[in-house]
């Protein structure tokens, strides 16, 4: 927000008697540093004041994250593949940590530059595209591929959602003289695209079968985010419906006689992975955000997971709010300005935070109750609502273990 717009907006709010005034007096100095944080965030605050860079940072609690990884691995089980979602964990060292602890080399990628980065950094990985990509993006991937250890013919499953897209990828395979592995996106009730009926898939399977030098079948992918938050298990009617639809597509593939050994049958996501612990249809389950737990993933099947990802922003200014109303809301009696802001995130510490009068990417106001007692240069902590984009906004991720900054992990570049 521009300064001129801010002053005009604040004046208007004052005239309206909103309780947000222009005439502030600085808060008294000498307030206890770190007040109003619980013990966990008080330790992080002290750490960052001692060793932090003095700007907004993304923190990752390694102990909490390891516990979350272990919960996901246990839920997937040994008879299925845990496929790590790259967009939700967009950092090579972070992905190395997760895949090593979980004992998997299966990744799901949603962005062409990330796919090229994965090919360079994870030469033994098996990669499933998480969305159907324009054929131009696939062509760019092949053009920019530098690794001689990563072999797309065996290690990439391109997601195909329609007969027309299959023909585009077939033409690319002929153009480049390569064989492309395809997995078909199937609609299992979300209605966000993909093959709607097993009958529609049959013609696509015929194309693959007729051109083995350029096309091979890798698997199916059915995303069922409509089950999020149901608290469902395998006996729930909505789950039974999803699995019934999925089974119909599997039967269609088997009838075509071209299903390879080890056909990928992918589904789930962090929200729903816990449903399928006893399922024997899908053999490949994806999850990413459940590793770090942004707020959008505070859902039923992730109830045992702990938040591991936080934005920490230094406090630049603190003022009491002029009381133009006789009884302002309790959680809007003072105002702090933090370094940066307007992220997809919610304040988690201190508590008793009210609605901000506006958002700013420069210095964002945070309204609190009078009981909050933080000083300038203390930190406020926010939980991202998502991880996939927010994690790319702060430079290196600062990992924390045993009360100390453990590492600095670079994140992916969105272009390249």
Mean predicted confidence (pLDDT) in 131-141: 98
pLDDT surpasses 60 at 21: no
In whole angstroms, what is the distance from residue 369 CA to residue 335 CA? 9
Instruction: At 178, list the tokens.
Output: 């390569």
Mean predicted confidence (pLDDT) in 344-363: 92
CB-side neighbour CA atoms (13 Å) of 410: 4
pLDDT surpasses 60 at 1: no
Give residue 172's region: left, alpha or beta (phi > 0; psi -120 to 50).
alpha
User: What pLDDT sits at residue 151?
Assistant: 98
User: What pLDDT sits at residue 6?
Assistant: 44
Which residues, at least 6 apart from 60, have a Cβ–Cβ distance to it below 8 Å?
A: 94, 292, 308, 309, 397, 398, 399, 400, 409
Domains and CATH numbers, the chain: 3-60+306-409 (2.40.37.20), 110-282 (3.20.20.10)
- Across the chain, mean pLDDT equals 91
User: What pLDDT sits at residue 260?
Assistant: 84
Residue with the bigger pLDDT between 52 and 12: it is 52
Handedness of CA 330, 332, 334, 338 (dihedral sign): positive
Residue 257, burial from CB neighbour count under 10 angstroms (0-12, 13-18, 19+): exposed
pLDDT band at 30 (very low <50, low <70, confident <90, very high): very low
- With a pLDDT cut of 90, the percent of the chain lying above it is 83
The model's pLDDT over 202-215, given as tens digits with 9 standing for 90+, comes to: 999 999 999 999 99
User: What pLDDT sits at residue 314?
Assistant: 98
Round the CA-based radius of gyration of the chain to a whole number and report it: 25
In whole angstroms, what is the distance from residue 273 CA to residue 75 CA? 7
User: What pLDDT sits at residue 259?
Assistant: 83
φ, ψ for residue 309 (rounded to 5)? -125, 130
Instruction: At 388, list the tokens.
Output: 């996939």
> Largest Cα–Cα distance in the chain?
79
pLDDT surpasses 80 at 324: no
Residue with the bigger pLDDT between 22 and 367: it is 367
In whole angstroms, what is the distance from residue 21 CA to residue 12 CA? 9
pLDDT surpasses 50 at 31: no
User: What pLDDT sits at residue 322?
Assistant: 66
User: What pLDDT sits at residue 123?
Assistant: 97
- Sole residue written with tokens 């992916």: 412
In whole angstroms, what is the distance from residue 20 CA to residue 326 CA? 13
Count of CB atoms situated within 10 Å of the CB of 222: 25
Mean predicted confidence (pLDDT) in 154-161: 98
Q: What angle do CA 335, 340, 343 make, to 5 degrees?
A: 100
pLDDT band at 23 (very low <50, low <70, confident <90, very high): very low
In whole angstroms, what is the distance from residue 104 CA to residue 73 CA? 9
pLDDT surpasses 70 at 384: yes
Mean predicted confidence (pLDDT) in 395-400: 98
pLDDT band at 52 (very low <50, low <70, confident <90, very high): very high
- Which residues is 312 bridged to in the sheet? 57, 381
User: What pLDDT sits at residue 90?
Assistant: 98
User: What pLDDT sits at residue 10?
Assistant: 44
pLDDT surpasses 70 at 174: yes
pLDDT surpasses 60 at 33: no
In three-state form (DSSP H/G/I as H, E/B as E, the rest C), the secondary structure along the chain is CCHHHHHHHHHHHHHCCCCCCCCCCCCCCCCCCCCCCCHHHHHHHHHHHHHCCCCCEEEEEHHHHHHHHHHHHHHHCCCCEEEEEHHHCCCHHHHHHHHHHHCCCEEEECCHHHHHHHHHHCCCCEEEECCCCCHHHHHHHHHHCCCCCCCHHHHEEEEECCHHHHHHHHHHHHHHCCCEEEEEEECCCCCCCCECCHHHHHHHHHHHHHCCCCEEEEEEEECCHHHCCCCCCCCCHHHHHHHHHHHHHHHHHHHHCCCCCCCEEEECCCCCHHHHCCCCCCCEEEECHHHCCCHHHCCHHHCCCCCCEEEEEEEEEEEECCCCCCCCCHHHCEEEEEEECCCCEEEEECCCECCCCCCCCCEEEEEECCCCCCCCCCEEEEEECCCCCHHHCCCCEEEEECCEEEEEECCCCCCC
Instruction: At 138, list the tokens.
Output: 């696939």
In whole angstroms, what is the distance from residue 65 CA to residue 63 CA? 5
Which of 46-60, 125-139, 292-306, 325-339 is predicted with the least confidence, judged by mean pLDDT?
325-339
pLDDT band at 228 (very low <50, low <70, confident <90, very high): very high
User: What pLDDT sits at residue 15?
Assistant: 36
pLDDT band at 12 (very low <50, low <70, confident <90, very high): very low
User: What pLDDT sits at residue 244?
Assistant: 98
pLDDT band at 16 (very low <50, low <70, confident <90, very high): very low
In whole angstroms, what is the distance from residue 84 CA to residue 269 CA? 10
pLDDT band at 34 (very low <50, low <70, confident <90, very high): low
Q: How many residues does the chain have?
A: 416
Mean predicted confidence (pLDDT) in 401-405: 95
């Amino acid at each position: 927000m521009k300064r001129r717009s801010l002053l005009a907006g604040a004046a208007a709010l004052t005239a309206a008697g909103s309780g947000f005034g222009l005439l502030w007096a600085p808060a008294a100095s000498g307030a206890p540093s770190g007040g109003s944080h619980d013990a966990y965030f008080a330790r992080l605050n002290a750490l960052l004041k001692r060793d932090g860079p003095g700007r907004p940072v993304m923190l990752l609690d390694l102990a909490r994250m390891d516990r979350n990884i272990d919960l996901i691995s246990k839920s997937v089980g040994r008879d299925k593949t845990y496929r790590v979602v790259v967009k939700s964990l967009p950092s090579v060292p972070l992905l190395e940590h997760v895949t090593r602890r979980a004992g998997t080399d299966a990744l799901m990628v949603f962005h062409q530059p990330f796919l090229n980065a994965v090919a360079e950094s994870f030469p033994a990985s098996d990669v499933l595209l998480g969305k159907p990509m324009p054929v131009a993006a696939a062509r760019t991937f092949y053009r920019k591929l530098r690794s001689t250890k990563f072999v797309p013919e065996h290690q990439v499953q391109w997601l195909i959602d329609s007969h027309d897209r299959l023909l585009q990828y077939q033409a690319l395979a002929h153009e480049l003289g390569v064989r492309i592995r395809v997995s078909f996106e199937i609609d299992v009730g979300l209605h966000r695209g993909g093959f709607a009926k097993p009958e529609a898939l049959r013609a696509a399977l015929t194309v693959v079968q007729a051109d083995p030098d350029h096309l091979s079948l890798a698997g199916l992918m059915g995303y069922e985010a409509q089950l999020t938050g149901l608290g469902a298990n395998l006996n729930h009617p909505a789950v039974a419906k999803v699995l019934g639809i999925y089974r119909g597509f599997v039967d269609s593939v088997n009838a075509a006689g071209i299903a390879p050994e080890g056909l990928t049958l992918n589904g789930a996501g962090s929200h729903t992975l816990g449903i399928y612990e006893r399922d024997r249809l899908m053999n490949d389950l994806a999850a990413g955000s459940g590793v770090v737990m942004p707020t959008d993933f505070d859902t039923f099947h992730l109830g045992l997971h702990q938040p591991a990802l936080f934005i920490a922003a230094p406090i630049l200014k603190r003022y009491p709010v002029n009381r133009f109303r006789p009884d302002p809301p309790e959680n809007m009696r003072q105002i702090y300005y933090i370094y940066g802001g307007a992220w997809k995130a919610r304040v988690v510490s201190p508590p008793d935070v009210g609605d901000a009068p506006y958002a700013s990417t420069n210095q964002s106001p945070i309204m609190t109750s009078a009981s909050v007692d933080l000083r300038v240069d203390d930190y406020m902590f926010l939980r991202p609502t998502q991880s996939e984009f927010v994690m790319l906004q702060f430079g290196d991720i600062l990992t924390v273990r045993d009360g100390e900054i453990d590492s600095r992990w670079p994140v992916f570049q969105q272009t390249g």
